[in-house]
Amino acid sequence: MITDITKLKQVEAALPAEKWTVEAINMDLQENANTLTREESRHLIYELRVHQTELEIQNEELRRVQLDLERERARYFDLYNLAPVGYLAIKENNMILEGNLTASNMLGFARHELANRPISQFIRREDQDIFYLHVKQLHETEVLQTCELRLLKKDGTAFWAQLVMTATLVTEGAPVCRIAVSDINGHKLNEKALHDAHWRLKSIIEGTHVGTFEWNVQSGVTVVNDMWVQMIGYRHAELAPLSRVEWETLTHPDDLKKSRELLKQHFTGELPYYTCECRIRHKDGHWVWVRDSGIVGTCTNDGNPLMMFGTTIDITELRQFEEELRSSRDSLQTQVDLKTKDLIEKNLDLIIEVKERKKFEAALRRREQDLSAKSHLLEESNIALNVLLQRLKNEQKEAENMIAANIRQLILPHLDNLNCLGLTEIQKSHVGLIRTNISRLNASFLHNLTVQFALLTPREIQVANMIKDGMSSKDIAAILSISVRSVEFHRNHLRKKLGLSRQPSSLLSFLLSLQ
């Protein structure tokens, strides 16, 4: 790329001279056109064509160099700006000199926004000492430095990054720290997930007192954990590593054949897992019952089992419990046999008792028939009572209609006359309340309120009516000539008596629902 730029500059420097030569020849031809001989004119024309050809060649070379330069610039853009890692140039005062496109995308800034910003702006406060320590070591030793810390994006989001730093000198001689930034946030998250999974697995193994083993089938060497050796009374150093021969020596002879057969079936694929209950000799000499469970994890190139992983659980207490359960079952079976014999004898007595009960059931059926006849008579009486009750309801309805008609004819006209006598606003409000309450005498609201909630006082019924009409506490207090606090007091009593103390519904909504 440097060679192409040099050629480009040489060609550009030569172009003005060539241009001047051609112009000089043209001027010479114009000035001496009448004095030149034909031979001199041909010679000048020839020189002009030669210079023109050289100029075309130089122009072609210039275009080629320009194309090469554009390709180099595109390549530089791909290698620098589109690199999979971010690049930052940091001045000696820890201010950002420049950064590539990848770095700006990582940090959430435009490229031009990175320049002249302190690098500490993009490093989490807890990790800034790590960065400055490595920068100091870089300037002191000039040895490439690598560190992992958390960077901050424009929106404040932190992510893990690996920084590889190297020191260089620019043209002016000022030291510059060049940093390659790699986003390792996913790697860090995977590390944490792996660490958490390892910690959970370790906690589960320790919490459940499970022994683990890693058996190299080809070499016979088995690596066990502390819990495995503690099951049989040993320290880890006494049985590490455990060979196949030592394991068979510890295993009860009667269980070896079964274990080998199950292993063979697992190795050949007949069993997906290896599970075997066997006895292992304790250091004190007694036998410990264990359950081995495992699976072949890796195989050799020719398909033979290589590594087998599994767990070992102490089931001695379970075996003892099974034995006790077996003894209890035998004892229970004996008791069942005795009870069966006793039940057969009692069954004979029951047969006799059943016969007696059948006779008693026959007498009961006769009694039921008598009761059925009486029930039929009661149903007929009930029908007659229902007819009488319906007649009473109709008469009550007629009486209510008559009362309503009398109110409309005998009371409401006088209330209309009162409104024409120049009453005050309070008096008009009272007259309006009288009219409203009279019109509600036969309405379902007061009927429901009085029947369902008979504990309401007259004043509370008045307040309830006004609340239902949409009046505020201030309006109610003015009409009833009481304080606003008294109105709120009656409101609270209404909510308690109507069962609304612990419900979100309003008192007005509840009263309107009674219509």
Q: In sequence order, what are the beta bridge partners of 212?
A: 311
d(CA 464, CA 440): 13
Quick one: three-class SS letters along 192-252?
A: HHHHHHHHHHHHHHHHHCCEEEEEECCCCCEEECHHHHHHCCCCHHHCCCECHHHHHHHEC
End-to-end Cα separation, the chain, in angstroms:
94
Which whole-number Å values give the CA distances from 492 to 67, 463, 469, 498, in the listed order?
Answer: 90, 11, 18, 10
In this structure, the answer to whether residues 149 and 235 fall within a common structural domain is: no
Asked if the structure places residue 255 within a domain, the reply is yes
Q: Are residues 97 and 157 in the same domain?
A: yes
The pair of structure tokens assigned to 412 is 């409401």
| Parallel, antiparallel or unpaired: strands 211-216 and 222-224 | antiparallel
Q: How far apart are CA 215 and CA 243, in angstroms?
A: 9
401, part of any domain: no
Residues 6+ apart with CB under 8 A from 255: 276, 277, 278, 279
Of 310, 287, 284, 316, residue with least CA distance to 297: 310
249 and 261 in a single domain? The answer is yes
Quick one: pLDDT at residue 182?
92
Beta bridge partner(s), residue 292: 276, 312
Q: Are 399 and 391 in contact (CB under 8 A)?
A: no
User: The domain spanning residue 262 has which CATH number?
Assistant: 3.30.450.20
Residues 42 and 59 in one domain: yes
Domain boundary among 58, 80, 102: 80
Q: Kindly write down the DSSP assignment for every residue of 374-389, as one continuous string.
A: HHHHHHHHHHHHHHHH
Same domain, 59 and 91: no
Q: How many CA atoms lie within 13 A of 390 on its CB side?
A: 6
Question: What letters, b where the CB count within 10 A reaches 16 and e where it falls short, cover 229-264?
Answer: bebbebeeeebeebeeeebeebbeeebeeebeebbe
* Residue 334 identity: T
Nearest C-alpha neighbor of 250 from the set 224, 209, 278 = 278
Predicted local confidence at residue 19, as pLDDT: 47
Residue holding tokens 């030291």? 175
CA 308 to centroid of chain Cα atoms: 36
Q: Find how far residue 102's CA is from the centre of its chain.
A: 30
| CB contact set of 290 (below 8 Å; sequence gap of 6+) | 211, 231, 277, 278, 279, 280, 312, 313, 314, 315, 316
- Give the pTM: 0.40
| Residue 459's CATH number | 1.10.10.10
Q: Is residue 390 included in any domain, yes or no?
A: no
- Which of 285, 281, 277, 283 shows the shortest CA–CA distance to 252? 281
Distance CA 77, CA 90 (A): 20
For residue 515, give every residue at least 6 positions away whose Cβ sits within 8 Å of its Cβ, in sequence order, or none. Answer: 443, 444, 445
Which of 36, 64, 80 finishes a domain? Answer: 80
Residue type, 376: H
74: in domain: yes
Q: Which of 263, 283, 314 is the last residue of a domain?
A: 314
Q: Which of 478, 488, 484 lies closest to 428 in space, CA to CA?
A: 478
Q: Domain containing 278: what range?
A: 209-314
- How many angstroms separate the Cα of 205 from the Cα of each of 212, 278, 293? 8, 21, 14
**167 & 221 share domain:** no
Report the chain (515 residues): mean pLDDT per 10 consecutive residues. Answer: 44 47 54 64 76 78 71 62 84 88 89 89 93 90 91 92 85 78 90 87 78 90 88 84 85 91 92 92 93 92 91 89 88 88 86 86 86 84 82 74 68 71 76 72 50 65 82 84 86 81 74 70
Angle of helix 425-439 versus helix 473-480 axis, rounded to 10: 100
Structural domain includes residue 169: yes
Number of domains in the chain: 4
Residue type, 311: T
- Cα dihedral sign, 99-103-104-107: negative
